[in-house]
Amino acid sequence: MYSERMSTSERLVEATRELLWERGYVGTSPKAIQQRAGAGQGSMYHHFSGKPDLALAAIRRTADELRATAEAALGGPGSAHERIAAYLLRERDVLRGCPVGRLTMDPDVIASDELRAPVDETLAWLRGRLADIVQEGSERGELSAALDPAEVAATIVATVQGGYVLARASGSTAAFDAGVRGLLALLGSRPAQGS
């Protein structure tokens, strides 16, 4: 399952990332982590002080990966609308949901300032990055100057996260896809000349 070159600590972090996405914090037991990572209890506690420490490392890595993936689309070439579209239309495992966004539904993660911090920071970074692109698009005349960049950024993130919820509830990506198409249509409309 894991590369033979991966260290035990790397295997533990990767196993925890997968289990958090599949089961959430409560459903991710140290035993399940150890089994998935192929590591013993002694190895786990040699590298990490306990489940919260390991979960924090896993959440941080997942957050970093989400940022890198989002930036690959948002930092690419094209107009503001094209870059936002690249982000919204990028390949995702929609029915699994967002590995970061799903953590907001986990009461133990939300109750812990330390575990919640990388989740909040990542979603705040994403809203800020999107707001910058909307602002840039407005200034270049690619998007309506009437748009509030922070509000549009929040709408984009809410559409994606809400789309995951709708898709998971229905067992189909159709609602996610419809939300993305609708948002792109709204962003693509600019006021008529002279309005």
Instruction: For the chain, give every domain's residue range.
Output: 8-188
For residues 143 and 81, the answer to whether their CB atoms sit within 8 Å is: yes
- What distance in Å separates the CA atoms of residue 145 and residue 69, rounded to the nearest whole number? 28
pLDDT tens-digit map of 91-104: 999 999 999 999 99
For residues 184 and 85, the answer to whether their CB atoms sit within 8 Å is: yes
The CA-based angle 146-151-156, given to 5 degrees, is 110
Q: Considering the chain, what is the average pLDDT of its residues?
A: 92
State the amino acid at position 6 in one-letter form. M
pLDDT (average), residues 33-61: 91
* 8-188 carries CATH number 1.10.3720.10: no
For residues 157 and 127, the answer to whether their CB atoms sit within 8 Å is: yes
- What distance in Å separates the CA atoms of residue 36 and residue 44, rounded to the nearest whole number? 12
pLDDT at 195: 37
> What is the value of pTM for the model shown?
0.89
Q: Copy the structure tokens of residue 54.
A: 């390991």
